[in-house]
Amino acid sequence: MGKTRLDLARKEIAGFLEDSGQTVFSLRDLGEIYRENSQAWRLAMSTSRSSFADYLCQKRILQKIDIPFGEKKVFTRYALRGRFARVEVYLSLVASAYLSHYTAMGYHQLTEQMPKTYYVNHELTPKHITPNQLTQEGIDVAFAKAPRVSRTVAEYKGDRIVLLNSKSANGLGIIEEPWERGFVRMTNPERTLIDCMVKPEYAGGVYEVAKAFKLANGRASTNTMYAMLKKLDYVYPYHQVLGFYLELAKFDSVILKRLAAMPMPHDFYLTHGMVDPDYSEKWKLYYPKSFF
């Protein structure tokens, strides 16, 4: 049997993929690559992107990876054999993704645990929302309930992947860090601490968050955290939470005084669903009993 056009162009295609700077591809990516290069590679325009992907897997240039998020939602990616890290596959699942929460805590050594969950986050498009006026009753009702958590969760070869989304913040505190063969996007230590105090359910819980702040003392900037919190502009008074954690971790900073001087018209909560919590008069904040 004679060689096909794809066979004749195989080395060119493999070289192009290896030199592209990309290690993980979606089916759409491969379709675009085929469309843009088919003439130079002398390929038939009638070949479908699925057939192209299947050929590259058959020739062991790419490896097909299916990650199921439930029975009806499966993400398929194609990775260069021997050239990719799993985390690159996870970050390819959504556009402009970055690692956050417990995953970033682990990378920045803000936990003594070894997180097995990859929190893959991305920013939502900016939206103009007129927030409802905060009331004490509204806060009490919201935090008496269990927190909302992402249901977009997958298991892959012992890893747990959780897809999240966050409010638009123009990439605030997102950096690139070395990871195995390349670099990945993730939150820096200060943004990680803020994200984790806001959503402790993605960080091992409030005790792990408290420990993270203690481990960050002397390494993370309180000025940066304060500035980030202001830019994120949460509806809820998370400055009370930040002040509480910084004081608990014995940060010596003028920022603590600045946070304590900010308006605190409402009582707030360290986390959801607490039973018979203790109360900090200074921070007007409920926290779990025996927290100290």
User: Taking 60 as the threshold, does the pLDDT of residue 1 lie above it?
Assistant: no
CB-hemisphere CA count at 13 Å for 96? 12
**What confidence tens digit (pLDDT) does each residue in 132-188 have?**
789 999 999 999 999 999 999 999 999 999 999 999 999 999 999 999 888 999 999
pLDDT tens per residue across span 20-67: 999 999 999 999 999 999 999 999 989 999 999 999 999 999 999 999
What is the average per-residue pLDDT within 265-282?
97
Confidence check: pLDDT of 290 > 90: no
pLDDT at 72: 80
Quick check: 71 pLDDT over 80? no
Per-residue pLDDT for 87 more than 60?
A: yes
The model's pLDDT over 220-235, given as tens digits with 9 standing for 90+, comes to 999 999 999 999 999 9
Q: In the chain, what are the domains?
A: 5-84 (1.10.10), 89-287 (no CATH)
**pLDDT at residue 184, as a whole number:** 96
> Residue 126: what pLDDT?
81
- Nearest C-alpha neighbor of 86 from the set 20, 3, 181, 19: 181
170-186 residue pLDDT tens: 999 999 999 988 899 99
Percent of the chain's residues with pLDDT above 70: 98
- Can you give the pLDDT at residue 128? 67
Looking at residue 292, its pLDDT comes to 73
Residues in the chain: 292
pLDDT score of 262: 97
What pLDDT score does 192 carry? Answer: 98
* Residue 131 in this model has a pLDDT that exceeds 70: no
pLDDT band at 127 (very low <50, low <70, confident <90, very high): confident
67, 69, 75, 76 alpha-carbon torsion, rounded to 10°: 30
Average pLDDT, the chain: 95
Kindly state the average pLDDT of the residues 65-91: 93
Q: Report which residue type is found at 78.
A: Y
